[in-house]
Amino acid sequence: MRFALCAAIPAVLCLGFTANYDEDQVPDYTLPDPLVLEDGSPVPDAETWREKRRPELVALFEEHVYGRRLPDPPHLHFQLVDEDPEALGGMATRKQVVIHLAEERDRPAIELLLYTPNNVEGPVPGFIYLAFWGNQTMHTDPAIRVSTRWMRGHGTGVVDNIATLESRGARVENVPVETIIQRGYAIATYYYGDAAPDDHARYRREILSLFLDEDAERDGAHASAIGTWAWGLSRGLDYLETDDAVDHTRVAVLGHSRLGKTALWAGALDERFGMVISNNSGCGGAALSRRRFGERVSRINDSFPHWFCRNFRNYNEREDALPVDQHMLVALAAPRPVYVASATEDRWADPKGEFLAAYHAGPVYQLLGEDPLPVHEMPEPGVAAHGAIGYHIREGSHAITEFDWGMYLDFADKHFTRPL
């Protein structure tokens, strides 16, 4: 899926913004060192990383990029609204669970769809994935509840910002459910708009209505939409912790594009996720901001002012002043396996910047005794580079494809089958 017209054309004026796609025009930059504390002293060992540097970095990302994390929910109640032990022709068990977050209120609530394989002894490892236009777009299974939430207008089968029955299966290419099940994994999804509508005027209407008032943005580090979508992923994991079919210690959090940014932030905040996967996440996700290639901080803040906190706007045209860069976000997954994936035509997301963020997270992994990326240069398209940090670049455009999932399943096989 592509939202950015700017991405389609080499260098184009978009909302008065010209993207750079020329590697020679990438400025010189110095990345902040993930292994140097704010007071200038080095991080010599795993304990200093864990006790001092990691919390420092989380706080810096909260203050300057994604906004402060939300507190635990005031109320949490799981309502199983559907269960079919013979779903997908008998290969899987389907459950749909409404995660209630407020007492005596229907909303806010998150609707989780879960398939678990029937032919494998549980509990099984799995993936939790954010859906763009409702769980019903992920598969043609007619029992999937159709989202009734507000959604952005350009999805197939979305009329007047509401999903219609036409949207069933409209995004089947995003998640190869049968393949995932056949390989012995569970797959859970929720519609990100359950947590926060993806619209500046509306994003506070669901979960944030529990925590923020209308003046919230006076606080430069107010909770953002990305932070709220990430919080919702953690509530999904709260449910998975209660489901015996799933091994909740081996759940990979995975998202594409804006939801790839979200997956990285969710994995940074919530260390219960056993693996973190970012697909084509670009600016504000895996791509290094300081490269100023493709989409930039100023452009993303102008186009999507609710995605990040207000303080992030202080770095429009001033990327070098950021106290962090995105390799540090990748490093916050450590020592858990983390994966960054790019696509050759997705220059808006800066594939090289995504690769370099994965690469420069390496020293943190090494400090913690884990393998960094096994390569020093970007691999050829289609070739896997899988240490505890994984990377691939695939031929093609901005999307999550069966090929990407094949790589993620291989990576999960490699890491989730290791003795814990």
Q: Which of 139, 327, 392, 398 is catalytic?
A: 398
Which are the contacts of 243, defined by CB distance < 8 A and separation ≥ 6? 95, 114
Size, binding site for ligand GTR by CB under 6 A: 9
Least distance to ligand GTR, CB of residue 298, Å: 12
Beta-carbon neighbour count of residue 381 at 10 Å?
A: 14
Least distance to ligand GTR, CB of residue 163, Å: 18
- Yes or no: say if 281 and 339 are a contact pair by the CB < 8 Å rule: no
* CA–CA dist 404, 97 (Å, integer): 27
- Yes or no: say if 327 and 281 are a contact pair by the CB < 8 Å rule: no
The region of 1-9, 56-64, 68-76, 383-391 touching ligand GTR under the rule CB under 6 A is 1-9
- Contacting residue, 236, 282, 351, 362, with ligand GTR by CB under 6 A: 282
- Contacting residue, 246, 283, 297, 356, with ligand GTR by CB under 6 A: 283
Least distance to ligand GTR, CB of residue 412, Å: 23
Nearer to ligand GTR, 236 or 282 (CB): 282
Least distance to ligand GTR, CB of residue 265, Å: 13
Name which of 2, 17, 12 is nearest 302 in CA terms: 17
The b/e string for 67-100 (b: 16+ C-beta within 10 A; e otherwise) is bbbbeebeeeeeeeeeeeeebbeeebbbbbbbbb
Should residue 295 be labelled a site residue for ligand GTR when binding is judged by CB under 6 A?
yes
Should residue 17 be labelled a site residue for ligand GTR when binding is judged by CB under 6 A?
no
Positions 108 through 137 that interact with ligand GTR (CB under 6 A) = none
Nearer to ligand GTR, 294 or 372 (CB): 294
Question: Which pair of structure tokens corresponds to residue 275?
Answer: 């693996």
Radius of gyration of the chain (CA): 20
Should residue 288 be labelled a site residue for ligand GTR when binding is judged by CB under 6 A?
no
Beta-carbon neighbour count of residue 380 at 10 Å?
A: 9
Using alpha carbons, list the distances in angstroms from residue 320 to 155, 182, 356.
36, 46, 16
Query: Does the annotation count 257 as an active-site position?
Result: yes
The alpha-helical segments, DSSP class H, found in 111-270 are 177-182, 192-195, 225-240, 258-269
Nearer to ligand GTR, 116 or 257 (CB): 257
Least distance to ligand GTR, CB of residue 403, Å: 18
Should residue 257 be labelled a site residue for ligand GTR when binding is judged by CB under 6 A?
yes
Nearer to ligand GTR, 48 or 303 (CB): 303
The b/e string for 165-200 (b: 16+ C-beta within 10 A; e otherwise) is eebbbbbeebbbbeebbebbbbbbbbbbbbbbbbbe
Should residue 291 be labelled a site residue for ligand GTR when binding is judged by CB under 6 A?
no
- Contacting residue, 3, 17, 211, 403, with ligand GTR by CB under 6 A: 3
Q: Which of 257, 278, 298, 342 is catalytic?
A: 257
Percentages helix, strand, coil for the chain, rounded to the nearest 5?
A: 35, 20, 45
Should residue 258 be labelled a site residue for ligand GTR when binding is judged by CB under 6 A?
yes
Query: Does the annotation count 398 as an active-site position?
Result: yes
Least distance to ligand GTR, CB of residue 181, Å: 26
* CA–CA dist 117, 247 (Å, integer): 12
Q: Which of helix, strand or coil describes residue 144?
A: coil
* CA–CA dist 167, 144 (Å, integer): 11
Question: Which pair of structure tokens corresponds to residue 164?
Answer: 């219609």
The b/e string for 44-65 (b: 16+ C-beta within 10 A; e otherwise) is eeeebbeeebbebbbebbbbbb
Least distance to ligand GTR, CB of residue 355, Å: 17
Should residue 4 be labelled a site residue for ligand GTR when binding is judged by CB under 6 A?
yes
Nearer to ligand GTR, 113 or 300 (CB): 300
Should residue 264 be labelled a site residue for ligand GTR when binding is judged by CB under 6 A?
no
Nearer to ligand GTR, 167 or 257 (CB): 257
Least distance to ligand GTR, CB of residue 276, Å: 17
Nearer to ligand GTR, 236 or 255 (CB): 255
Positions 300 through 329 that interact with ligand GTR (CB under 6 A) = 300
Which are the contacts of 417, defined by CB distance < 8 A and separation ≥ 6? none
The contact set with ligand GTR (CB under 6 A) reads 1, 3-4, 257-258, 282-283, 295, 300
- Which positions are catalytic? 257, 398
